[in-house]
A and B are shown apart, each in its own frame.
Chain A
């Protein structure tokens, strides 16, 4: 008899302790610190001291919830919008922004700190989503490969169609990968919605390789890391990573970035207050904090992205090897909202089938 009851007891125990925990979590007892929950994607990182400063200044405990990649995290926020899982959501980018806005998950917030942020980053006029950082998705290449083969690295997207670059490029699938989608948008911005597929047909003819994820592209196919393809779709921040995380100190990276006009796509990441939060005051403070100099200056070496406030001071190594395109390709947020799925489907039909 005892044996039979054991599992049942276990379940009861779990349920009871779950209730206990559920009951104790969102307590707003006036004595102890309140809890602010921030939902984000799994690339989010921040310095310990920065968060501690915010916590002690506001008598609050910040709890982070990582929810998979950027797309998955956003879906979680949308599906739980009737009973939000967190107070703040950080990490929706301009390729996903339309989904977040049309699902109406964010509360507008006219933060006073928006005044410092250049208008080019403010893509939501109602300020439901506030820009925090940006980074560029660009072609990277393996410098030693090109010197060894006495080959000029390509200068722009058009060059990739030339016979000397046949079989040298690896890209990510826009249906599965965020840099993959960003690069597809770069080609749409550069060649136009009517002609980008011609460019992709040319790439297919020139033996482009498509893989599903950045990790496979960079660590399996890219010649820097043991693959055979010396050109890869990655980030403008990849070379500084290569220096800062070199195994033995090196003074310059072995990879470089192509930054010609229209060959990169700029990803802007946003933060928003989740509609229905019970901690609106704290949520607003957190958003202000993310736009403040403290947080903005911490970001580059944590997530290898650029702060949106122009006066943030940046680390030297980071700046020295960071590639910043002057004119990244531009696709308007409205166009992305209207055509995102159609472009991905058309690309899939053209390139993969």
Chain B
């Protein structure tokens, strides 16, 4: 009895910090803006809903949003799972570089990604030009921009890294003897995968699928830029209703609809996850990973790596290449310029040509971005750790049943709505943050926090209680148990969580643009400033700065990958 009450108390204590954070910086702003918006409806709340559902917009938006999210998630899993298998089971040269590079799409600004895809697949892109000259065609055979395909491809491009990291990490710790035993007992490769490995992996796959789905479900930039005006997800529709039409009641109804979908989905997920999670003996990577020895393995690895390269890295390479190419018109007959290599755009980044007050040299923008990313990583880990621990500690606790799905809500929330919520709610001391830089890492943490919890919880859950109990019986203090048992076992997951938080913050644009101080732009903000003005130098500088962002991100991810503490690297 006492033990039970003690456990409950621990769970409550663990929940306290993350819940205070969510209450202050999520529920309070969101509640304020929804209340204010619905109050603008002429005859009160109910009429706002009635009005909204009289229009075809909500149902049309929900239908399309779900449809594209389901398809995108399936495609992302189709590419991500083989990739995760490869990264979990084999050691090969350049592996951590591959892993870091596949994480970069996640933080690239949409406008720049659109430019990269256009260089490859646009009407005047390399693929179309190649096909046209190869088959002597008059018009480009592939229509990519502003299509449904573009949306799907971009979603796979952005989110495959979630599957690679979450599933790949978990898979790399599975005891290979489990499936070996199944093979010995007569199961074929496929049966072993289906009956042994897959059920054990299910929680990690489900967690990755959920995050990918929510990202696709709330997709904004990809739909707006690559999909075009013929496609509107809920998030895009909320933007139109808020900004262009100023129909705030409609926008809040749509926001709530989007939240309800996220919540429903997360509840289903948490139910499923509880049913499928089981304690495991996690193994160090050295135990589970092999070199690529047979030609069959090499062929398999080669094809998976090429798929990842083509879909995730080729567009980035196109971008980097364009940033050092003279961007003169394709048919530049009228100006005599030699196409070729140039570093002009990089040089220009250091020039304050307009003597502008808001000019920031690239080093400043990088410093600001890294500062926010560091703050976000620390804050998200500090909040995510207790939450994940509470979840793992006592999976039957009713508190966990209720709070677990709520953690995911910030990801499913409309950025426009929440951004305005900050302005409305956080306007009085002691929380007058409207013009403060602190709002930026706080907003980034809201997005990063669910990722941290989702990265940590499966690993924490899978620790056998017996190991911990053994340590306690042997006289270890709770703190010692944590540092000597828990932390080494979940070390990899902590690194995955940190990487997510870091990249989320580094690439975030929407919330940052709402609250940024113009003298202190982050790298994505600076990129946007360039690309929103005509002229070769402006466009070139946007590409150059994007390339720098890729470099910084890769270095950051490789550094996190190499962090070693408490045997973390072993696992």
Which residues of A are in contact with B by a Cβ distance under 8 Å?
1-4, 6-8, 10-11, 14-15, 17-19, 21-23, 25, 37, 40, 42-51, 63-69, 71-72, 75-76, 79-80, 83, 85-86, 99, 142-145, 147-148, 173-176, 181, 209-216, 218-221, 223-228, 234-235, 238, 241-242, 244-248, 250, 254, 301-302, 304, 341, 344-345, 352
Report yes or no: A228 in contact with B357, Cβ–Cβ below 8 A: no
Within the complex, which residue of A44, A142, A221, A227 is in contact with B518, where a contact is CB–CB below 8 Å? A44
Report yes or no: B436 in contact with A72, Cβ–Cβ below 8 A: no
Report yes or no: B538 in contact with A221, Cβ–Cβ below 8 A: no
Size of the B side of the interface (Cβ < 8 Å), in residues, is 101
Within the complex, which residue of A2, A43, A211, A245 is in contact with B532, where a contact is CB–CB below 8 Å? A43
Report yes or no: A80 in contact with B424, Cβ–Cβ below 8 A: yes
B429 within 8 A of A: yes
Q: Which B407-465 residues have C-beta < 8 A from chain A? A: 416, 419-420, 423-424, 427-436, 438, 442
Known: A7-B386, A45-B356. A19 touches B430 (CB 8 A): yes
B514 within 8 A of A: yes
Report yes or no: B516 in contact with A66, Cβ–Cβ below 8 A: yes
Q: A23-B429, A42-B528 are in contact. List 9 more A-B contacts (CB 8 A).
A: A4-B14, A6-B382, A11-B17, A11-B20, A15-B24, A21-B436, A47-B355, A148-B331, A228-B124
Report yes or no: A227 in contact with B436, Cβ–Cβ below 8 A: no
Bound state CA distance, A218 and B542, in angstroms?
14
Nearest B-chain residue to A174, judged by Cβ? B244
B293 within 8 A of A: no
The 16 listed contacts between A and B (C-beta, < 8 Å) are A2-B479, A3-B479, A3-B482, A7-B383, A43-B532, A46-B358, A67-B514, A76-B514, A85-B435, A143-B334, A148-B331, A175-B240, A212-B228, A215-B532, A247-B337, A247-B345
Report yes or no: A246 in contact with B433, Cβ–Cβ below 8 A: no
Write out the residue numbers on chain A whose beta carbons fall within 8 Å of the beta carbon of B382.
Answer: 6-7, 10
> In the complex, how many angstroms separate the beta carbon of A327 from the nearest chain B beta carbon?
24
Report yes or no: B536 in contact with A247, Cβ–Cβ below 8 A: yes
Within the complex, which residue of A47, A64, A227, A304 is in contact with B519, where a contact is CB–CB below 8 Å? A64
Within the complex, which residue of B358, B428, B540 is in contact with A45, where a contact is CB–CB below 8 Å? B358
9 nearest CB pairs, A to B: A245-B535, A22-B432, A7-B17, A71-B243, A19-B430, A241-B534, A247-B536, A7-B382, A245-B537
**Binary per-residue interface labels of chain B (356-394) against chain A in the complex, 1 for a CB within 8 Å, 0 otherwise:** 111100000000000000000011001101100000000
Within the complex, which residue of A8, A68, A227 is in contact with B514, where a contact is CB–CB below 8 Å? A68
Write out the residue numbers on chain B whose beta carbons fall within 8 Å of the beta carbon of A245.
Answer: 533-538
User: Which has the most chain A C-beta neighbours within 10 Å: B357, B378, B525?
Assistant: B357
Report yes or no: B333 in contact with A302, Cβ–Cβ below 8 A: no
Within the complex, which residue of A1, A67, A241 is in contact with B533, where a contact is CB–CB below 8 Å? A241
Report yes or no: A72 in contact with B111, Cβ–Cβ below 8 A: no
Within the complex, which residue of A10, A247, A345, A352 is in contact with B540, where a contact is CB–CB below 8 Å? A247
Report yes or no: A144 in contact with B331, Cβ–Cβ below 8 A: yes
Q: Which B115-139 residues have C-beta < 8 A from chain A? A: 115, 118-119, 122-125
Within the complex, which residue of A47, A181, A247 is in contact with B344, where a contact is CB–CB below 8 Å? A247
Nearest A-chain residue to B241, judged by Cβ? A175
Write out the residue numbers on chain B whose beta carbons fall within 8 Å of the beta carbon of A345.
Answer: 245
Write out the residue numbers on chain B whose beta carbons fall within 8 Å of the beta carbon of A42.
Answer: 513, 518, 525, 528-529, 532
Report yes or no: A46 in contact with B225, Cβ–Cβ below 8 A: no
Write out the residue numbers on chain A whose beta carbons fall within 8 Å of the beta carbon of B3.
Answer: none
Write out the residue numbers on chain B whose beta carbons fall within 8 Å of the beta carbon of A10.
Answer: 17, 378-379, 382
Bound state CA distance, A181 and B243, in angstroms?
12
Nearest A-chain residue to B535, judged by Cβ? A245
Report yes or no: A11 in contact with B21, Cβ–Cβ below 8 A: yes
Report yes or no: B436 in contact with A22, Cβ–Cβ below 8 A: yes
> In the complex, how many angstroms separate the beta carbon of A243 from the nearest chain B beta carbon?
8
Known: A227-B122, A247-B536. A173 touches B229 (CB 8 A): yes
B327 within 8 A of A: yes
Write out the residue numbers on chain A whose beta carbons fall within 8 Å of the beta carbon of B383.
Answer: 7, 11
Bound state CA distance, A64 and B430, in angstroms?
22
Report yes or no: B243 in contact with A69, Cβ–Cβ below 8 A: yes
Write out the residue numbers on chain A whose beta carbons fall within 8 Å of the beta carbon of B102.
Answer: none
Nearest A-chain residue to B516, judged by Cβ? A66
**Binary per-residue interface labels of chain B (321-332) against chain A in the complex, 1 for a CB within 8 Å, 0 otherwise:** 000001111111
Write out the residue numbers on chain A whose beta carbons fall within 8 Å of the beta carbon of B534.
Answer: 218, 234-235, 238, 241-242, 245
**Binary per-residue interface labels of chain B (224-241) against chain A in the complex, 1 for a CB within 8 Å, 0 otherwise:** 110011100000000110
User: Which has the most chain A C-beta neighbours within 10 Å: B20, B140, B356, B529?
Assistant: B356
> In the complex, how many angstroms separate the beta carbon of A259 from the nearest chain B beta carbon?
17
Report yes or no: A216 in contact with B420, Cβ–Cβ below 8 A: no
Report yes or no: B435 in contact with A65, Cβ–Cβ below 8 A: yes
Write out the residue numbers on chain A whose beta carbons fall within 8 Å of the beta carbon of B243.
Answer: 69, 71-72, 75
Nearest B-chain residue to A48, judged by Cβ? B357
> In the complex, how many angstroms separate the beta carbon of A166 from the nearest chain B beta carbon?
13
> In the complex, how many angstroms separate the beta carbon of B104 from the nearest chain A beta carbon?
21
Report yes or no: A68 in contact with B513, Cβ–Cβ below 8 A: yes
Report yes or no: B334 in contact with A147, Cβ–Cβ below 8 A: yes
Write out the residue numbers on chain B whose beta carbons fall within 8 Å of the beta carbon of A1.
Answer: 478-479
Report yes or no: B435 in contact with A37, Cβ–Cβ below 8 A: yes
Write out the residue numbers on chain A whose beta carbons fall within 8 Å of the beta carbon of B536.
Answer: 242, 245-247
B54 within 8 A of A: no
B270 within 8 A of A: no
Report yes or no: A45 in contact with B354, Cβ–Cβ below 8 A: yes
B52 within 8 A of A: no
B246 within 8 A of A: yes
Known: A210-B228, A213-B225. A247 touches B327 (CB 8 A): yes
B96 within 8 A of A: no
Report yes or no: B427 in contact with A85, Cβ–Cβ below 8 A: yes
Known: A7-B17, A246-B537, A302-B356. A79 touches B438 (CB 8 A): no
Write out the residue numbers on chain A whose beta carbons fall within 8 Å of the beta carbon of B24.
Answer: 15
Write out the residue numbers on chain A whose beta carbons fall within 8 Å of the beta carbon of B357.
Answer: 45-48, 50-51, 64
Q: Which B276-302 residues have C-beta < 8 A from chain A? A: none
Nearest A-chain residue to B146, judged by Cβ? A211
> In the complex, how many angstroms separate the beta carbon of B394 from the nearest chain A beta carbon?
15
Write out the residue numbers on chain B whose beta carbons fall within 8 Å of the beta carbon of A250.
Answer: 335
Report yes or no: B354 in contact with A212, Cβ–Cβ below 8 A: no
Report yes or no: B438 in contact with A18, Cβ–Cβ below 8 A: yes
B405 within 8 A of A: no
Report yes or no: B335 in contact with A66, Cβ–Cβ below 8 A: no
Report yes or no: A209 in contact with B329, Cβ–Cβ below 8 A: no
B92 within 8 A of A: no
Nearest A-chain residue to B123, judged by Cβ? A228
Known: A7-B385, A221-B145. A75 touches B420 (CB 8 A): yes
B470 within 8 A of A: no
